[in-house]
Chains A and B, each alone.
Chain A
Amino acid sequence: MLDRLLSHDRPRNRWLAMLLVAIVVGVALTPFIFPGTKALNVAAKVIVFIVLAASFDLLLGYTGIVSFAHTMFFGIGAYGIAIASTRLGPTWGALALGTAFALALSALLSLVIGLFSLRVKAIFFAMITLAVASAFLTLASQLSDFTGGEDGLTFKVPEALQPSTGYASGPVLGASIDGRLLSYYLLFVVALLLVLALLRIVNSPFGRVLQAIRENDFRAEAIGYRTVVYRTIANVVAALFATLAGVLLALWLRYNGPDTTLSFEIMLDVLLIVVIGGMGTIYGAVIGGVLLVLAQNYLQDVMKLAAAAVQDVPFLSQIVSPDRWLLWLGILFVLSVYWFPSGVVGRLRAMRKGGADRR
């Protein structure tokens, strides 16, 4: 049963399996274990970023192509339901319509970009997507009648998901049972299904062809697989999953703006997650996502302590100042590309001792 759910792609290491179980249980029980809005918001962000990074892993890790337009599709999803909800009011129909439109737009755009630029080198694709994504960012912040411009859009979600809707009179186990909690579990379940679906995709024959293309596209072509077609399909599928991640984020925040979904910083975050967690292993996105979002929200507190300790040293205090947390993740990123390109997951799997490999 579990094996089928995981598409026979087990963690293959005891520590990794334990970590994953801990993450899933932790995220599932966050509203009850860690009270407070911040913890819940962080956990929701973890959920969304895991989906986003896992879909990016399909491109980067499994197909070996670098796309910088991934946040564009993320943004399309978020804007889809944001715009639909502002125009049509907070109904489920608006959400469905917005999601459908966003998916259609993402599919179309990713298809066009893919057909246009995936014929040639990986580098070319990276550059084209970078240009297209920055143009889209400009577009989103300039069409202010439609997208709310730089300020973004704040909208209402259907009543069942609103924080004011209570389902139980008193708090249960320290958490109030309201619409907010319901949306949290909606996010959790959808994200879980999406990640399992991605696992299914990468372990299907289609996923194997993608890996063959990553390893040696010339040979894959020679065997008879049309690499352009496979790459383009992978691009479209990844874009659709990213769109759904965007829908989840907007649903949780009840807000969307250029900086929340479209900015280049988010793209870098996703790259960091996938590379540090481990490319070509969907589990890497899970581990990396938790690491990065936690670092974003809590590493700064730790660094504040460190900065206070070396306050008087001129240069050092600058480097460990809490605003420079990205510097350390950047260094970690470069080091992981050099020395452990398969990331945390690859490292754990390579460890002899933990050999939970039952295959």
Chain B
Amino acid sequence: MSAADALPKARFDALPLILIALIALAAWPAVGSTSTWVTLTVAGLAMGMIVFIAASGLTLVFGLMDVLNFGHSVFIALGAYVATSVLAVTAGWTSAASLLPTLGAVLLAMLAAMTLGGAIGLGFERVIVRPVYGQHLKQILVTLGGAIIGEELIKVVWGPAQIPLPLPDALRGSVLIGDAAVEKFRLVAVVVGLVVLVALLYTLNRTKIGLLIRAGVQDREMVESLGYRIRRLFVAVFAAGSALAGLGGCLWGMNQQIVVPQIGGQVNVLLFIVIIIGGLGSTLGCLVGALAVGLMTNYVGFLEPKLTMFSSIGLMVAVLVWRPQGLYPLAR
């Protein structure tokens, strides 16, 4: 028997995954037609992926340092606004209906959103978050204050009016898969989401930094006592989370095709619901919660548009009744 076998292995909890399948299956007869159902499912998965990208940073930061960042919304709004600027500058690339330059421009927009989000995240951590570690009440207040200031500064730079963010021509319209029409942009969103997911899973599970992050989430003091500077790690995670929020905001803005300064606040409510469903601090839970909320929103939006906002809250209440700490509670 090797050493690895001797360690008790945590059993993987698959029940929440079945929940997603259940939501999708339950919606099938309700929607009626298979092709519409496929369209809605892809749209739901795409939305779930975008929400996951934006929320992953929030939940990691909370898990690692017990900091809930109400200012996360600023980075989402920032990402969306950077996307408008970059796509405006690269209008020449996207005017042609060919796919490659368009994807290049979109990629550039995403990179710019991530870089700026990460860089400003560093400053935000230093000025806003660091002085109030460990004081929950002050954290909520100060990060919220940061969100107010950030939103106002965005208005200073980009103006208070809404800015249209039209999708490039090459990403408009849909492709037919069988009978079902699937919008091209949703496919892009799913692919980007998968890339981020794989990168995140790889970093968390296969690298030393990931090991330290996971260990820090489990027991911060223990990692510190082994000689690692968890503060520094935390700053890096915070910046990465902000960069991901920028990326998520960039995609969300393109999804909405219109950007307003309040966009971050609107998404933030959704993110909170998602990370509560997933269990505060859990990355896997965040993914499952995001997909469940994305699917639910799209099905309900099709069946009963007025209930859209309540569907995610209803889902949250149902999940909390089932598992009061969320789908994947942190073991501590």
Give the B-binding residues of A (Cβ under 8 A).
60, 64, 66, 116, 121-124, 126-128, 130-132, 134-135, 138-139, 142, 264, 268, 271, 275, 315, 318-319, 323-324, 326-327, 329-331, 333-334, 337-338, 341
Supply 16 further A-B pairs (C-beta < 8 A) apart from A131-B276, A138-B309, A338-B132: A60-B137, A122-B136, A122-B137, A122-B140, A123-B280, A124-B280, A126-B140, A127-B272, A135-B309, A275-B141, A319-B156, A326-B148, A327-B148, A327-B149, A334-B142, A334-B145
Q: What chain B residues lie within 8 Å of A127 (beta carbons)?
A: 68, 272, 276
Overall SS of chain B's interface: helix
Q: Does A134 contact B309, Cβ atoms closer than 8 Å?
A: yes
Q: Does A327 contact B156, Cβ atoms closer than 8 Å?
A: yes
Q: What chain A residues lie within 8 Å of B268 (beta carbons)?
A: 130
Q: Verify if B269 is at the interface (C-beta below 8 Å from A).
A: yes
Q: Verify if B146 is at the interface (C-beta below 8 Å from A).
A: yes
Q: Does B280 contact A324, Cβ atoms closer than 8 Å?
A: no
- A66–B131 Cα distance when bound, in Å, is 19
Q: Does A337 contact B152, Cβ atoms closer than 8 Å?
A: no
Q: What chain A residues lie within 8 Å of B280 (beta carbons)?
A: 123-124
Q: Does B149 contact A330, Cβ atoms closer than 8 Å?
A: yes
Q: Does B155 contact A334, Cβ atoms closer than 8 Å?
A: no
Q: Does A135 contact B310, Cβ atoms closer than 8 Å?
A: yes
Interface residues on B, range: 20 to 34
Q: What chain A residues lie within 8 Å of B269 (beta carbons)?
A: 130-131, 134
Q: What chain A residues lie within 8 Å of B149 (beta carbons)?
A: 327, 330-331, 334
- A139–B128 Cα distance when bound, in Å, is 34
- A123–B156 Cα distance when bound, in Å, is 31
**Contact flag A327-B152 (CB < 8 Å), given A124-B280, A334-B145:** yes
How does the 8 Å CB contact mask read for B135-166 relative to A, with 1 for contact and 0 for none?
01110111011101100110110001000000
How does the 8 Å CB contact mask read for B297-318 relative to A, with 1 for contact and 0 for none?
0000000001001100100100
Q: What chain B residues lie within 8 Å of A271 (beta carbons)?
A: 141, 144
- A175–B280 Cα distance when bound, in Å, is 58
- Chain A residue with minimal CB distance to B157? A318
- A327–B146 Cα distance when bound, in Å, is 10
Please give the distance in Å from B211's CB to the nearest CB on chain A. Answer: 27
- A157–B190 Cα distance when bound, in Å, is 55
Q: What chain A residues lie within 8 Å of B260 (beta carbons)?
A: none
- A114–B280 Cα distance when bound, in Å, is 19
Q: Does A131 contact B145, Cβ atoms closer than 8 Å?
A: no
A-B contacts at CB below 8 angstroms, number: 87
Q: Verify if B273 is at the interface (C-beta below 8 Å from A).
A: yes
- A116–B68 Cα distance when bound, in Å, is 20
- A142–B309 Cα distance when bound, in Å, is 11
**Contact flag A123-B141 (CB < 8 Å), given A131-B273, A330-B148, A334-B149:** no
Q: Does B140 contact A66, Cβ atoms closer than 8 Å?
A: yes
- A323–B131 Cα distance when bound, in Å, is 30
Q: What chain B residues lie within 8 Å of A275 (beta carbons)?
A: 141
Q: Verify if B265 is at the interface (C-beta below 8 Å from A).
A: yes
Q: Does B156 contact A330, Cβ atoms closer than 8 Å?
A: no
Please give the distance in Å from B75's CB to the nearest CB on chain A. Answer: 16
- Chain B residue with minimal CB distance to A323? B160
Please give the distance in Å from A346's CB to the nearest CB on chain B. Answer: 14
Q: What chain B residues lie within 8 Å of A318 (beta carbons)?
A: 156
- A126–B68 Cα distance when bound, in Å, is 10
- A325–B147 Cα distance when bound, in Å, is 15
Q: Does A334 contact B156, Cβ atoms closer than 8 Å?
A: no
Within the complex, which residue of B68, B128, B273 is in contact with A334, where a contact is CB–CB below 8 Å? B128
Please give the distance in Å from A53's CB to the nearest CB on chain B. Answer: 14
Q: Does B313 contact A131, Cβ atoms closer than 8 Å?
A: yes
- Chain B residue with minimal CB distance to A138? B309
Within the complex, which residue of A64, A268, A324 is in contact with B156, where a contact is CB–CB below 8 Å? A324
- A91–B150 Cα distance when bound, in Å, is 46
**Contact flag A337-B156 (CB < 8 Å), given A131-B272, A131-B316:** no
- A123–B136 Cα distance when bound, in Å, is 7
Q: Does A142 contact B306, Cβ atoms closer than 8 Å?
A: yes
- Chain A residue with minimal CB distance to B145? A334
- Chain B residue with minimal CB distance to A126? B140
- Chain A residue with minimal CB distance to B316? A131
Please give the distance in Å from A327's CB to the nearest CB on chain B. Answer: 4
Q: What chain B residues lie within 8 Å of A333 (beta carbons)?
A: 141, 145, 148
- Chain B residue with minimal CB distance to A117? B320
- Chain B residue with minimal CB distance to A127? B272
- Chain B residue with minimal CB distance to A268? B148
Q: Does B148 contact A337, Cβ atoms closer than 8 Å?
A: no
- A163–B42 Cα distance when bound, in Å, is 58
Q: Does A323 contact B155, Cβ atoms closer than 8 Å?
A: yes
Please give the distance in Å from B305's CB to the nearest CB on chain A. Answer: 9
